[in-house]
Structures are given as C-alpha cells and as structure tokens.
Structure 1
Amino acid sequence: MKRNVGGVDRTIRVILGLAILSLLFILHGSTRFIGLIGLVPLLTAFVGFCPLYTLLGIKTCRVSSHK
C-alpha cells in the first residue's frame, strides 16, 4: 500500500472521524451505531491510505523526489 493521504487531508479525516464517532454518545437506540462509520476516516488517516482515492486516482500527499 502506497501512501495517498496527505497531512491536511489526514487532519480533516481525524476531526471528521471523531465528530461522527461522537454520535455513539449523542444518539439513542440502534441509530447510535451509525457513529461507527467514524472509524473509517480515522483508520484511513492513521494508515495514510484510502482505497477510494486509489480507484479515483487521487493523491493528496506530497510526491517524494527520492526513488
């Protein structure tokens, strides 16, 4: 897996992931489990790889000049 998620993108993903994950504590009943979707942006932020970006050919990380 090559890294395709850059620094700003990762920061946004962490903030968004935590906000969505907080729904676990805000919502009631079975709808609160929608908050588990927040794990996806958190995971992609920590790993630095987004499978959807690969399919769409998007790269938000800096290109390294070293080979």
Structure 2
Amino acid sequence: MKAKSKDSGDILWGCRDIASAINRTPAQTFHMLVKKQIPASKVGAIWVASRRRLLAHLAGEVVK
C-alpha cells in the first residue's frame, strides 16, 4: 500500500507550512497573517494560503 503524500499541491495548510514556504519562523508568519500582510484566510481555526499567490505577493507581482 502506498503512503499518502503530505504534498497538497498549491495549498499550504497551517502557519508552519506557510512559514516554511516563505522562509520565516512560525511566529513571524503568524504576525503577518493576523495583520493581513500576506494573502491567506482561515478555514475553521487553520490558516490556509495558496503557495503561488503567496510567493507572487511577496515578489510584488499581481496575480489574478
């Protein structure tokens, strides 16, 4: 039986995964999330972000 992959494509689930994608600590990332400085939303109690939109935002690109 094959093990499930943790990779969920473009979607980053949780502050730690988002922090890892942008090379910041979870505390720094949580501050940015709460202050709405990076594009993400909450699903229940979990932060969720699109890796593509997040990296484009940080690079100053416009993503439609």
The bucket for the TM-score relative to the shorter chain is under 0.3
Larger radius of gyration: 1
Q: TM-score, normalised by structure 1?
A: 0.25
Q: Greater share of strand residues, 1 or 2? A: 2
Calculate the TM-score normalised by the size of structure 2: 0.25
Q: Which has the higher contact order (CA 8 A, sep 6+)?
A: 1
| Structure number having the greater helix percentage | 1
